[in-house]
Amino acid sequence: MQKKKHAVGQVVQAFGNLLHVRFEGNIRQGEMARVRVGDESLLAEVIEIAGNEAKLQVFEDTRGIKLHTPVEFNGHLLEAELGPGLLSSIFDGLQNPLEDVAKETGVYLQRGVYMPPLDRARLWGFTPTAKVGDVLSRGDSIGFVLEGRFEHKIMLPFSHFGKVKLNYLVKEGSYNLDHVLASGEDEKGQLIEIKMLQRWPVKNALIEGKKVRASRMMDTGLRILDTQFPILKGGTFCSPGPFGAGKTVMQHHLSKYSAVDIVVIVACGERAGEVVEVLQTFPELIDPHSHESLMKRTVMICNTSSMPVAAREASVYMGAAIAEYYRQMGLDVLLLADSTSRWAQAMREMSGRLEEIPGEEAFPAYLSSRISSFYERAGVVELKDQRMGSLTIGGSVSPAGGNFEEPVTQASLAIVGAFHGLSRARSDARRYPAIDPLISWTKYLNEAGRELNHRLPHWADRVRQAATFLRKGDEIGKRMEVVGEEGVALDDMVVYLKSELYEFCYLQQNAFDKEDAYCPLDRQVKLFTLILKIFDGQFSFDTHDEARSFFLNLQNDMKNMNFLPYESHLYKEVYAEVERKLSSRIKA
Ligand code: ADP
Ligand code: MG
């Protein structure tokens, strides 16, 4: 087959990273191109076509681009390379392997340097599971290689939609990514080759199979999330909050402790140092579920604020495509994007250059549809052999001044299944995680409850009861600020004290304490049982002072309990002590 000739063109106008290019040949929306500046070649993407002129956004610093600078289109959309070796990798938004690039060009990434995302030379032990004569369709696997502890399925390319009858398949053995492992004929009699490596255009959702309702909980080890505002595997959530409220700390927590197989982190950092920190700390961390290095289940896409904005936009899609690819293997995948506001800003910048009619706060009118289609890539997929794969997506949002009435937060709120709103007041008071339980919500509580009912009956109702205590406590607390402690009825004061105890001993959690940072579900249920005993209890106090000192004492014990190893003798002792104190005070 003769190779199709690609279009070529030249720059007629440049405005920041937006180029007007006159071209000959055929190009399409989203097509990638290379802009030749001296011996450097900068990647760009077609964003608008009119006649024989196109507008392109360049993913790099555009220094040196002039009138008549040559442009070569390559016929492909922005694609991800998919195959074994993605895990443990660190890429930029265009899937450059950052470690390899740094080896080539030093710590300061040089523009125009692109390297293959996956190692071509590396050999992987392949075990075939299909056989010659099998008729395969999209996403079916021909075998697998072991990538760490995962069976990485080698699947019929997702870019091929028809059926393929296998007429060749290699034997078990070691092969590299480009080796033809199998081939066959499609329905039109054309030859289809299957390698470990395949490509997928990142802006399109990669999915094969039936989307089904999410129903399994994704526990995170954060009490305020798992108990009060749970997330489901295949669900979506967002956490908006002002600068410094703890969004990044929370996302790091989720990436470390969430009960999923694979985590894809898209870091569109606000601070360059943050990304470096992740790169340094992650390889040393141990996954509490598999007891292996966390890096082995992680893919990172890093953009710092010093990288061009267009690459940031790409990184969100790059992360989504890689995450979806692993979902097709029947794995539970979590995609985290921090912060989606940086991504939205990239859209705004580009839209401004294109002179599009601006919407609210100068964001483009399509902002909310882009945000929805991103979150819609989440979900549970039922695969052929009734296996399930899931992709959960969580994004942080950093609205200026912490004002949630802005377009990115609002668009995210309209689509996600759980909202964890961080508040400045809470982080200032060092009440971490600074999620405000009075404004946060989840649509997943009933499903999570179904999973937890056998451990604690009527789970969802009990959690709602806890939320009611928080609301009442807040209201009474506000009254007390005005009229003083003695100004409210003793019974009201007790409700307030109960809600404070719930806050301090349950909802708050120290991300930097060895024991407290990660609280497994068992441990949460055990502690929540104690909390419910307190909520339900009718206490006998004679004075406000007496009530206060009793609760303060209880709070101390329970707070300390969180820092003790769950299996320790001491934990059991303190737990028993708290129970004893309660029964001595609760009216029978
Ligand atoms: P954001 O991403 O919202 O700007 P960060 O996540 O970077 O904020 O948090 C800023 C600082 O707040 C952290 O460096 C840390 O000192 C503190 N912090 C945030 N979350 C916690 C937590 N759960 N426990 C203790 N300290 C926290
Ligand atoms: Mg941050």
Determine the Cα angle at 34 with ends 31 and 38, to 5°.
Answer: 170
Of the bound ligands, which one is closest to the alpha carbon of residue 339?
Answer: 2
Of the bound ligands, which one is closest to the alpha carbon of residue 507?
Answer: 1
- CA–centroid distance for 381 within its chain: 17
Centre of ligand 2 to C-alpha 23, Å, is 42
17-67 pLDDT, tens digit per residue, is 899 999 999 999 999 999 999 888 999 999 999 999 999 999 888 889 999
Q: Is the peptide bond before 520 cis (omega within 30 degrees of 0)?
A: no
Q: What is the DSSP letter of 282?
A: G
Note whether residue 450 is domain-resident: no
384 and 273 inside one domain: yes
Residue after which a domain boundary falls, among 389, 408, 442: 442
- Ligand 1 atom closest to 338 (CA): 2
Write down the residue that tokens 């708050």 correspond to. Answer: 508
510 and 477 inside one domain: yes
Q: Is the pLDDT of residue 387 over 70?
A: yes
Query: What pLDDT was estimated at residue 1?
Result: 43
Q: 58 has which bridge partners?
A: 44
Tell me which H or E stretch contains 152: strand 150-155
**H/E/C letters for each residue in 29-83?**
CCEEEEEEECCEEEEEEEEEEECCEEEEEECCCCCCCCCCCEEEEEEEECEEEEC
pLDDT band at 310 (very low <50, low <70, confident <90, very high): confident
247-290 pLDDT, tens digit per residue, is 999 998 999 999 999 999 998 866 666 766 777 777 788 888 88
Least Cα distance to 265 among 82, 89, 8 occurs for 89
Centre of ligand 1 to C-alpha 254, Å, is 14
- Ligand 1 atom closest to 241 (CA): 3
Q: Is the pLDDT of residue 158 over 90?
A: yes
Least Cα distance to 73 among 11, 12, 27 occurs for 27
325 and 377 inside one domain: yes
- Ligand 1 atom closest to 252 (CA): 6
Distances (CA, A) of 47 to 70, 111, 441: 18, 21, 37
Q: How far apart are CA 218 and CA 388, in angstroms?
A: 14
Tokens coding 400: 């200026």
CA-CA-CA-CA torsion sign (159, 162, 163, 168): negative
111, 65 in Cβ contact below 8 A?
Answer: no
- Ligand 1 atom closest to 249 (CA): 6
Can you tell me the mean pLDDT for 476-499? 95
Q: Is the pLDDT of residue 554 over 90?
A: yes
Closest C-alpha residue for ligand 1 atom 10: 244
381 and 359 inside one domain: yes
238 and 259 inside one domain: yes
Q: Domain count of the chain?
A: 4
Average pLDDT of the residues of the chain: 92
Name the residue with higher pLDDT: 136 or 92: 136
- Ligand 1 atom closest to 253 (CA): 23
Closest C-alpha residue for ligand 1 atom 13: 246
276 and 375 inside one domain: yes
Centre of ligand 2 to C-alpha 562, Å, is 26
464 and 380 inside one domain: no
Note whether residue 117 is domain-resident: no
Beta-sheet strand order (sheet of 124-128): 150-155, 141-147, 124-128, 173-175
Residue after which a domain boundary falls, among 442, 470, 505: 442
Note whether residue 452 is domain-resident: no
Q: Is 333 helix (H, G, I), strand (E, B) or coil?
A: strand
Of the bound ligands, which one is closest to the alpha carbon of residue 508?
Answer: 1
348-358 pLDDT, tens digit per residue, is 988 998 899 99
Residue after which a domain boundary falls, among 40, 57, 77: 77
Domain residue limits at 554 = 459-585
Centre of ligand 2 to C-alpha 56, Å, is 30
Note whether residue 520 is domain-resident: yes
Closest C-alpha residue for ligand 1 atom 18: 246
Q: Which amino acid is at 326?
A: Y
Q: How far apart are CA 565 and CA 376, in angstroms?
A: 39
- Ligand 1 atom closest to 274 (CA): 7
40 and 130 inside one domain: no
Centre of ligand 1 to C-alpha 512, Å, is 10
Can you tell me the mean pLDDT for 550-567? 95
Note whether residue 448 is domain-resident: no
Least Cα distance to 321 among 91, 523, 18 occurs for 91
489, 496 in Cβ contact below 8 A?
Answer: no
Q: Is the pLDDT of residue 360 over 80?
A: yes
Q: Is 174 helix (H, G, I), strand (E, B) or coil?
A: strand
Centre of ligand 1 to C-alpha 155, Å, is 41
Residues whose beta carbon lies within 6 Å of some atom of ligand 1:
241, 243-249, 432-433, 510-512
- Ligand 1 atom closest to 398 (CA): 3
Note whether residue 427 is domain-resident: yes
Q: Is the pLDDT of residue 166 over 90?
A: yes
Note whether residue 110 is domain-resident: no
- CA–centroid distance for 31 within its chain: 27
Can you tell me the mean pLDDT for 131-157? 96
Q: How far apart are CA 415 and CA 359, in angstroms?
A: 19
Query: What pLDDT was estimated at residue 313?
Result: 84
Centre of ligand 1 to C-alpha 435, Å, is 12
Closest C-alpha residue for ligand 1 atom 4: 244
Least Cα distance to 378 among 231, 268, 239 occurs for 231
222-251 pLDDT, tens digit per residue, is 999 999 999 999 999 999 999 999 999 999
Q: Is the pLDDT of residue 80 over 60?
A: yes
Q: Is the pLDDT of residue 528 over 90?
A: yes
pLDDT band at 537 (very low <50, low <70, confident <90, very high): very high
* The pairing of beta strand 141-147 with beta strand 150-155: antiparallel
pLDDT band at 302 (very low <50, low <70, confident <90, very high): confident
Note whether residue 514 is domain-resident: yes
Of the bound ligands, which one is closest to the alpha carbon of residue 341?
Answer: 2
pLDDT band at 2 (very low <50, low <70, confident <90, very high): very low
pLDDT over 70 percentage in the chain: 96
Q: How far apart are CA 264 and CA 202, in angstroms?
A: 14
26 and 170 inside one domain: no
Centre of ligand 1 to C-alpha 427, Å, is 8
Q: Is the pLDDT of residue 193 over 70?
A: yes
325, 159 in Cβ contact below 8 A?
Answer: no
Query: What pLDDT was estimated at residue 113?
Result: 75
E strands, 223-292, in order:
236-240, 262-268
313, 343 in Cβ contact below 8 A?
Answer: yes
Q: Which amino acid is at 579?
A: E
Q: 390 has which bridge partners?
A: 332, 380
The pair phi, psi for residue 481, each rounded to 5°, is: -60, -30
162 and 51 inside one domain: no
CATH number at residue 433: 3.40.50.300
Centre of ligand 2 to C-alpha 424, Å, is 14
Largest CA distance in the chain: 92
pLDDT band at 311 (very low <50, low <70, confident <90, very high): confident
CATH number at residue 527: 1.10.1140.10
Q: Is 469 helix (H, G, I), strand (E, B) or coil?
A: helix
pLDDT over 90 percentage in the chain: 80
Tokens coding 335: 């995609």
86 and 41 inside one domain: no
CATH number at residue 12: 2.40.10.170
pLDDT band at 141 (very low <50, low <70, confident <90, very high): very high
88 and 71 inside one domain: no
Of the bound ligands, which one is closest to the alpha carbon of residue 244?
Answer: 1
* Residue whose CB lies within 8 A of the most ligand 1 atoms, among 224, 225, 249, 562, for a mutation test: 249
* The pairing of beta strand 164-169 with beta strand 182-186: antiparallel
Q: How far apart are CA 577 and CA 564, in angstroms?
A: 14
Q: What is the DSSP letter of 227?
A: I
Closest C-alpha residue for ligand 1 atom 17: 246
Centre of ligand 2 to C-alpha 303, Å, is 13
Distances (CA, A) of 208 to 139, 161, 321, 577: 7, 10, 13, 54
Centre of ligand 1 to C-alpha 320, Å, is 26
Can you tell me the mean pLDDT for 164-182? 97
E strands, 433-489, in order:
441-442
421-476 pLDDT, tens digit per residue, is 999 999 999 999 999 999 999 999 999 999 999 999 999 999 999 999 999 999 99
Of the bound ligands, which one is closest to the alpha carbon of residue 270?
Answer: 2
